[in-house]
């Protein structure tokens, strides 16, 4: 990392750029012209949904059917329009939701212009703007430090270096880093695509499905299907065109064989499920920065939650000040008021103190040490009034001191306790703070969020373990967690006692649920230790001390009111700042993943039996026997698709589903689809052979095979819909009734060329279907038991 120092430019720090100067720089192309969100453009969405391989294949087959003159056999062509429109509408809705929420949730740095400090969106910054920075702020463009008050910048997200870097005037700061302590100003030197992290940030926030196990699994399945389609399709084409049929009839059979092989709805249903998930979460003020986060949340089994801002509200109230001397109350009050006034960017504790001590004693500060999560204290030096520090008693005091024991006794009630003390060294000295003389204990109250207990109970009911990880005193954190009835909260662990060895740390993490006095580096290590044990970890936080852990967690969840740095690295941002929103996010992830797995079974079963049936029909002609006409017309496969896959799959994909996602998506789906597909193909082919030949009417023969396919396919739907609820039973009944009506209503029989009037044929179909149902159910039960044993 380049830490070279340059001469600070001569610029009006108070006034900043004027409106005219800003306009001139924009005209010169020196603006920070990066998109607020790298979502897909409207044209990309239209192109991605219209110009697909599946649409191209169906389009070619549709044109072939049009040449035959049998327009009703081209009903499957409607799928091209429906697939494209449905996908576009849902994805455009999701894009609009995400873009609106990203504007609300984006980091807005404070920029000095026309003598005023104002919040601006990052893309409104221009070169040579003067930008303010304080703890938790993200550096949005490259720049040069102009002023610095104990300014420490964490560049670990860029360099991997874990220690914060102390910055002085003239030093360089790079976009993508963030401030962990202190305050300052910097001059924007490189903006737009010239900034160091612009391309990285653009890539990180794309509306994508990168690294999605679900999408990768579906792609693997589609690749496998492609390999099967080539020989099966070629055989079907050869068989139909080499027989004694007229060309239009042969083309109809060929198209009918090829259309059901394509799992045209699988990718569409997946895209719709994700898009609807984004929209539903957006309605709860939840911004999804990366789509795989929805899938990841479905797999989460450990949630690491910070106490402040998550279980408790971020704002605090000063409860009392307990001086250690009889006459120390007035001096402690002045020191606290001076500390609050000296810090230009006070944290929540100092804000509560400033609210209680509004009168500035007029002490002049000669040195400032802003609060840092790593050292656990802040302070200021006040010339003749001495050096004062405010921080964690168990960090500033010896283990056997009476004052520390008193602080732990008060903290055990769930209160935050800080020590006010005099330091032997100036607070900005390298060896600060030196020996501490205790002056008073500062007791702060935090309100527990009213919805925190219900949220913890939800996670417990869903077999998700919650770990409370906080920088506060362990006893205080334990008391808060115990009041919420978190298991094992009565035995909090002080992070100072945690082992550094990852294996031993993982053991402690598995055994305990509450941890106090945790440093930012330890939070990161704790997340890594849990992941090393095979856990999928979600980390929630709102402060700059949570950034590293959020970045490393399987899923990072930031509060909307948290620091800009946390919001920038998190995959999910809760804009309403409610921990209680997280269960809805987890439930949405489970709904999406669980339902896609359900409907994938339907689509792939259809592909398997379509490929096998085409092969079975084609083999006799290939080995020298009379070529068999394909048993179905394109309009027949359209019926099967409507009532056994399309409509029920759409309903099932949007239904509630609380089952936690598990790895192994592809094997589970194939374990269901392959046996079911083989049985349906075999049963329908047997029924076809039993009635084919002689003087048998071809319409009746096709009807017989179709009854067999639809009946068994409906049973596969019944298996996929388990466990049954009233609406799932209703769905099954409606699909069965609609399927039956196609064989009963005269107009439907005429339009779809169906004739079930030959009772012998119909009974043959039903007997073959009954045998197929028994085999499908048996295969499913055996598969389930094998999976259960594994």
The residue from 201, 232, 264 where one domain ends is 201
Residue 137 corresponds to which tokens in the numbers above?
């702020």
Rounded to whole angstroms, how far apart are CA atoms 127 and 10? 15
Q: What is the Rg, in whole angstroms, of the alpha carbon atoms belonging to the chain? A: 34
pLDDT band at residue 101 using 50, 70 and 90 as cut-offs:
low
Q: Assess whether 129 carries a catalytic annotation.
A: no
pLDDT at 202 > cutoff 50: no
**318 and 414 share one domain:** yes
Residues 479, 411 contacting (CB under 8 angstroms): yes
Q: Mean pLDDT across the chain, nearest whole number?
A: 81
**516 and 419 share one domain:** no
pLDDT at 207 > cutoff 60: no
Count CB neighbours of 30 within 10 A.
17
pLDDT value for 598: 82
Distances (CA, A) of 155 to 140, 217, 599: 13, 36, 45
Rounded to whole angstroms, how far apart are CA atoms 529 and 297? 19
pLDDT value for 765: 92
Is 86 a member of any domain? no
Q: Which DSSP helix (H) or strand (E) runs through 496? A: none
pLDDT band at residue 2 using 50, 70 and 90 as cut-offs:
very low
Is 641 a member of any domain? yes
Count CB neighbours of 195 within 10 A.
25
Residues 5, 171 contacting (CB under 8 angstroms): yes
Following CA atoms 504, 505, 506, 508 in sequence, which dihedral angle do they give, to the nearest 10 degrees?
90
Calculate mean pLDDT across residues 224-248: 71
pLDDT value for 103: 55
**299 and 180 share one domain:** no
**151 and 293 share one domain:** no
The residue from 180, 201, 222 where one domain ends is 201
pLDDT value for 696: 67
pLDDT, tens digit, for every residue of 518-534? 888 888 899 999 999 88
Is 258 a member of any domain? yes
Calculate mean pLDDT across residues 206-223: 62
**234 and 176 share one domain:** no
Distances (CA, A) of 371 to 110, 199, 340, 378, 725: 21, 32, 12, 4, 55
pLDDT at 72 > cutoff 90: no
Question: For residue 555, what are the contacts with CB-CB under 8 A and spacing of at least 6?
Answer: 293, 296, 297, 300, 536, 537, 538, 539, 571, 572
**405 and 542 share one domain:** no
Is 63 a member of any domain? no
pLDDT value for 210: 38
**215 and 189 share one domain:** no
Is 78 a member of any domain? no
pLDDT band at residue 342 using 50, 70 and 90 as cut-offs:
confident
Q: Which of 444-448, 497-501, 726-730, 776-780 is least confident?
A: 444-448
Domains held by the chain: number: 4
* Buried b / exposed e along 56-91 (16+ C-beta atoms within 10 A): ebbeebbebbeebebeebbbbbebbeebbebbbebb
The residue from 429, 448, 467 where one domain ends is 448
Rounded to whole angstroms, how far apart are CA atoms 470 and 492? 11
pLDDT at 235 > cutoff 50: yes
Is 57 a member of any domain? no
**365 and 340 share one domain:** yes
This prediction's pTM:
0.70
List 142, 306, 552, 755, catalytic entry: 306
CATH value at residue 473: 3.40.50.1000
pLDDT at 601 > cutoff 90: no
Is 59 a member of any domain? no
**764 and 632 share one domain:** yes
Rounded to whole angstroms, how far apart are CA atoms 338 and 422? 13
pLDDT value for 675: 92
pLDDT value for 321: 92
Q: Given its phi and psi angles, is residue 556 left (phi above 0), alpha (psi -120 to 50 degrees) or beta?
A: beta
The residue among 246 and 118 whose pLDDT is bigger is 118
Q: What is the distance in angstroms between the CA of the first residue and the CA of the last residue of the chain?
A: 50
pLDDT, tens digit, for every residue of 430-445? 888 889 999 999 998 8
Q: Which residue has the tokens 């466990």?
A: 723
The closest of 242, 227, 253, 249 to 620, measured between CA atoms, is 242
**560 and 640 share one domain:** no
Calculate mean pLDDT across residues 766-784: 91
pLDDT, tens digit, for every residue of 129-155? 999 988 878 888 889 999 888 788 887
**606 and 714 share one domain:** yes
Is 750 a member of any domain? yes
**306 and 324 share one domain:** no
- Residue range(s) defining the domain that contains residue 462: 286-311+449-575
pLDDT at 319 > cutoff 90: no
Calculate mean pLDDT across residues 35-63: 71
CATH value at residue 382: 3.40.1110.10
């Amino acid at each position: 990392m380049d830490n070279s120092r340059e001469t600070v430019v001569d610029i009006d720090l108070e006034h900043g750029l004027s409106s005219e100067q800003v306009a001139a720089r924009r005209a010169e192309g020196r603006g920070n012209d990066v998109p607020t969100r790298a979502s897909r453009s409207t044209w990309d969405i239209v192109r991605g949904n219209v110009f697909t391989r599946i649409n191209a294949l169906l389009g070619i087959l549709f044109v072939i059917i049009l040449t035959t003159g049998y327009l009703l056999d081209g009903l499957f062509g409607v799928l091209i329009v429906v697939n494209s429109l449905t996908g576009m509408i849902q994805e455009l809705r999701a894009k609009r939701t995400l873009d609106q929420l990203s504007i609300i949730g984006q980091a807005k740095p404070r920029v000095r212009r026309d003598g005023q400090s104002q919040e601006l969106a990052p893309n409104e910054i221009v070169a040579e703007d003067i930008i303010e920075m304080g703890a938790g702020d993200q550096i949005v463009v490259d720049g040069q430090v102009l002023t610095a008050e104990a300014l420490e910048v964490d560049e670990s997200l860029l360099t991997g270096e874990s220690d914060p870097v102390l910055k002085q005037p003239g030093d360089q700061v790079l976009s993508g880093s963030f401030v962990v302590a202190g305050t300052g100003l910097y001059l924007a030197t490189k903006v737009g695509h010239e900034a160091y992290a612009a391309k990285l940030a653009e890539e990180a926030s794309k509306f994508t499905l990168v690294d999605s196990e679900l999408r990768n699994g579906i792609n693997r399945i589609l690749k496998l299907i492609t390999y099967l389609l080539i020989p099966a399709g070629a055989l079907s084409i050869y068989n139909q065109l080499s027989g004694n049929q007229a060309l239009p009839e042969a083309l109809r059979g060929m198209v009918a064989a090829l259309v059901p092989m394509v799992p045209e709805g699988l990718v569409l249903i997946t895209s719709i499920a994700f898009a609807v998930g984004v929209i539903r979460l957006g309605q709860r003020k939840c911004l999804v920065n990366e789509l795989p986060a929805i899938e990841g949340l479905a797999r989460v089994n450990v949630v690491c939650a910070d106490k402040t801002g998550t279980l408790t509200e971020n704002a605090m109230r000063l409860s009392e000040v307990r001086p250690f001397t009889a006459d120390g109350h007035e001096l402690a009050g002045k020191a606290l008021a001076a500390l609050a006034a000296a810090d230009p960017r006070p944290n929540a504790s100092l804000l509560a103190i400033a609210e209680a001590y509004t009168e500035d004693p007029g002490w002049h500060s000669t040195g400032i040490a802003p609060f840092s999560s790593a050292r656990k204290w802040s302070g200021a030096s006040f010339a003749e009034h001495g050096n004062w520090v405010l921080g964690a008693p168990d960090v500033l005091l010896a283990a056997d001191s009476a004052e520390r024991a008193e602080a732990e006794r008060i903290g055990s009630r769930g209160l935050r306790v800080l020590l006010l003390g005099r330091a032997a060294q100036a607070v900005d000295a390298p060896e600060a703070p030196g020996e501490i003389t205790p002056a008073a204990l500062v007791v702060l109250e935090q309100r527990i969020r009213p919805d925190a207990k219900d949220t913890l109970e939800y996670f417990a009911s869903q077999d998700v373990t919650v770990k409370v990880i906080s920088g506060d005193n362990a006893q205080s954190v334990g008391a808060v967690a115990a009041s919420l009835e978190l298991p094992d909260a009565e035995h909090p662990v002080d992070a100072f006692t945690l082992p550094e060895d990852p294996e031993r740390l993982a053991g402690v993490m598995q055994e305990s649920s509450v941890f106090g006095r945790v440093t930012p580096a330890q939070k990161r290590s704790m997340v890594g230790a849990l992941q090393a044990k095979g856990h999928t970890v979600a980390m929630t936080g709102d402060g700059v001390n949570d950034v590293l852990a959020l970045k490393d967690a399987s899923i990072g969840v930031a509060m909307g009111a948290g620091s800009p740095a946390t919001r920038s690295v998190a995959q999910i941002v809760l804009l309403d700042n409610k921990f209680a929103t997280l269960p809805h996010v987890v439930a949405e992830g489970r709904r999406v993943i669980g339902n896609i797995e359900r409907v994938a079974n339907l689509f792939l079963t259809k592909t398997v039996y379509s490929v096998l049936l085409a092969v079975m029909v084609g083999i006799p002609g290939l080995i020298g026997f009379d070529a068999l006409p394909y048993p179905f017309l394109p309009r027949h496969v359209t019926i099967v698709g409507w009532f056994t896959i399309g409509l029920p799959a759409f309903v099932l994909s949007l239904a509630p589903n609380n089952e936690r996602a598990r790895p192994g998506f592809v094997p589970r789906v194939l374990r269901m689809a392959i046996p079911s597909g083989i049985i349906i193909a075999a049963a329908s082919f047997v029924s076809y052979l039993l009635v084919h030949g002689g003087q048998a009417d071809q319409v009746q023969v096709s009807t017989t095979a179709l009854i067999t396919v639809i009946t068994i396919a409906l049973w596969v739907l019944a298996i996929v819909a388990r466990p049954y609820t009233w609406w799932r039973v209703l769905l099954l009944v409606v699909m069965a009734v609609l399927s039956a009506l196609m064989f009963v209503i005269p107009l439907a029989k005429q339009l779809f060329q169906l004739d079930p009037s030959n009772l012998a044929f119909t009974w043959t179909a039903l007997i073959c279907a009954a045998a197929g149902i028994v085999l499908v159910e048996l295969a499913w039960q055996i598969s389930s038991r094998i999976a259960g044993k594994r």
